[in-house]
Amino acid sequence: MSKTRQNQRRPVRMERGSDAPGQWTVSRGLMAHATQVLAAVLSFEHPADAVLSRYFREHREIGHRDRGFIAEAVYGIVRRLRWVARLAGVKPLPRDLLLAWLARGEGWSSKQFEGLVSAAEFRWLEEVRAKRFEPAGLGEALDLPDWLTVRLSAEYGDDALQALANGFNRSAPLDLRANLLKINRDTLLQEFVSSGVEASPCRYSPCGVRLAGKPALQKHPLFINGSFEVQDEGSQLLGYLVQPRRGELVVDFCAGAGGKTLQLGAMMRSTGRLYAFDVSERRLAKLKPRMARAGLSNVHPVLIAHERDAKVKRLAGKADRVLVDAPCSGLGTLRRNPDLKWRQSPESVAEMTLKQQAILDAAANLVKPGGRLVYATCSLLADENEAVVDAFVASHPDFELMSAQAVLAEQGVALDCGERLRLLPHVHDTDGFFAAVLERKRDGG
Ligand SMILES: C[S@@+](CC[C@H](N)C(=O)[O-])C[C@H]1O[C@@H](n2cnc3c(N)ncnc32)[C@H](O)[C@@H]1O
């Protein structure tokens, strides 16, 4: 095959995905890159987004549009892996999966494959195109692993699970949180509209803005001056459950890069003390420039070795509010991280549950009488959610559950969620979240 022929680029229509520019031009070289990235992602050793970022860092010659093609294909395949694998036959190689995806997932015609595949592949693609898919069970039909299908179906029922799985296959919207220290939401919306960015208020979160597309925002003047942060609406609602006030001592126990810390700091009007704990130095390092941009001077990032660290114990009984945004399976974020469904297992969830209990126990010690403890995850599994909270309440008679719905209503958020908040992509159009609000009794229970 001559080099010119190998690099021949074929115009291909793409219908789906926010980045889809309408027409990709695809070369053999680009197909090879996509196959290589796919193989690395499918080892499931690292998160898909980390694999893609690393590959693009190492292959700077791949342009923006070609990156879009690779990312669309890889994420498309990971979302529908069982389906594509069945269409591609027994023990398919990454290239087989890619070709089968392009033929069936993206609907490429045979003409669009000309110059990109061998004669044998060309014939094989005809078979793939003609193949009927008869799922062997619900897991295969919904493109979920069987263990997860069994658990979710027991929790939600088959019909809701179907809707949930469909919800996960839609792309997540881009939500922003107006930094109320710097701007009010209406002004932010007006600024977007006048700069040609289509934006509307979020359905529930009073500081949330939803964008119609996915414009690059890193260089937007309102981002640079700290007027907004990217934050899923569901995540914003967790901040409202904490409801911190001016001058309080607040702990964000699992702060990570500070998605919720920044919101809590703004709700405190940059007063009081807000401790941002985490065991990850790398994540906390990302929080620091964000605090500066947001204009917050009340945040104290603290690297801890584990939840029983002496730095934690020093605050025993002193905190007005503690948020535990616990490490979890992340299964509520499958719209953004579809690979998680293949990377998690019953064993990893069981391990996570023990960690969650240990963190919640340690964090509870910080809450003063009359203070509030919020436990949250972005998981959909009762084992990581209700079961952790139930076990906690049973062993901590000095804490009682508050109604999440009432806490939200007090702040003007109308959400019919009852005692515990459960957000679902297909119902609320947010990531999947769980949260429970607990109060430490004043008389010690
Ligand atoms: C769900 S993420 C937090 C996301 C963050 N709150 C946000 O809004 O962006 C969970 C975090 O818990 C941290 N973590 C894990 N084990 C921990 C522990 N024992 N104590 C405190 N944080 C821990 C992880 O490093 C991770 O950053």
Q: Could you identify the atom of ligand 1 that is nearest to the CA of residue 252?
A: 6
Picking from 4-8, 101-105, 206-210, 244-248, which range would have the lowest pLDDT averaged per residue?
4-8
Mutate to test the pocket of ligand 1, among 278, 333, 361 (most ligand atoms within 8 A of CB): 278
Q: Hey, what domains does the chain have and what are their CATH numbers?
A: 16-130 (no CATH), 138-168 (no CATH), 233-440 (3.40.50.150)
Q: How far is the CA of 10 from the centre of ligand 1 (A)?
A: 45
pLDDT tens digits, one per residue of 212-252: 988 989 999 999 999 999 999 999 999 999 999 999 999 99
Q: How far is the CA of 95 from the centre of ligand 1 (A)?
A: 36
Give the mean pLDDT of the chain: 93
Alpha helices in 43-157 (DSSP H): 48-58, 64-79, 81-88, 94-100, 110-113, 119-130, 138-142, 146-156
Is the Cβ–Cβ distance between 379 and 328 less than 8 Å?
yes
CA distance linking residue 81 with residue 144, whole number of Å: 9
Assign 11 a pLDDT band (cuts: 50, 70, 90): very low
Q: What value does the mean pLDDT take over residues 430-444?
A: 94
Q: How far is the CA of 301 from the centre of ligand 1 (A)?
A: 12
CA distance linking residue 67 with residue 79, whole number of Å: 18
Handedness of CA 150, 155, 156, 159 (dihedral sign): positive
Mutate to test the pocket of ligand 1, among 230, 232, 260, 279 (most ligand atoms within 8 A of CB): 279
Residue 327, pLDDT score: 98
Q: What value does the mean pLDDT take over residues 325-354?
A: 97
Protein residue closest via CA to atom 1 of ligand 1: 327
Element (H, E) at 283: helix 281-294
Q: Could you identify the atom of ligand 1 that is nearest to the CA of residue 260?
A: 8
Chain-centroid distance of CA 239 in Å reads 16
Q: What value does the mean pLDDT take over residues 49-63?
A: 97
Q: How far is the CA of 278 from the centre of ligand 1 (A)?
A: 6
Is the Cβ–Cβ distance between 242 and 236 less than 8 Å?
no
Q: Could you identify the atom of ligand 1 that is nearest to the CA of residue 327?
A: 10
Residue 8, pLDDT score: 44
Residue 441, pLDDT score: 96
pLDDT at 78 exceeding the cut of 50: yes
Q: How far is the CA of 289 from the centre of ligand 1 (A)?
A: 18
Taking alpha carbons only, the member of 205, 209, 206 closest to residue 197 is 209
Assign 378 a pLDDT band (cuts: 50, 70, 90): very high
CA distance linking residue 276 with residue 298, whole number of Å: 10
What is the DSSP pairing of strand 228-230 with strand 23-26? unpaired
Q: Could you identify the atom of ligand 1 that is nearest to the CA of residue 255?
A: 6
Cβ neighbours, 10 Å, residue 219: 7
Residues counted in the chain:
445
- Residues lining ligand 1, CB < 6 A? 235, 253-257, 259-260, 277-280, 283, 304, 306-307, 325, 327, 359
Q: What value does the mean pLDDT take over residues 407-421?
A: 97
Q: How far is the CA of 102 from the centre of ligand 1 (A)?
A: 37
Flag whether the ipTM exceeds 0.90: yes
Picking from 12-21, 34-43, 177-186, which range would have the lowest pLDDT averaged per residue?
12-21
pTM of the predicted protein model: 0.92
Assign 346 a pLDDT band (cuts: 50, 70, 90): very high
Protein residue closest via CA to atom 9 of ligand 1: 259
Assign 169 a pLDDT band (cuts: 50, 70, 90): confident
pLDDT at 2 exceeding the cut of 50: no
Q: How far is the CA of 275 from the centre of ligand 1 (A)?
A: 13
pLDDT tens digits, one per residue of 302-313: 999 999 999 999
Residue 171, pLDDT score: 84
Handedness of CA 105, 107, 113, 116 (dihedral sign): negative
Protein residue closest via CA to atom 2 of ligand 1: 327
Protein residue closest via CA to atom 26 of ligand 1: 256
Residue 23, pLDDT score: 57
CA distance linking residue 240 with residue 435, whole number of Å: 11
More confident residue, 214 or 285: 285
Residue 221, pLDDT score: 94
Q: What value does the mean pLDDT take over residues 297-304?
A: 98
Is 325 annotated as a binding-site member? yes
Q: What value does the mean pLDDT take over residues 157-184?
A: 94
- Which residues are designated catalytic? 378
Protein residue closest via CA to atom 25 of ligand 1: 280
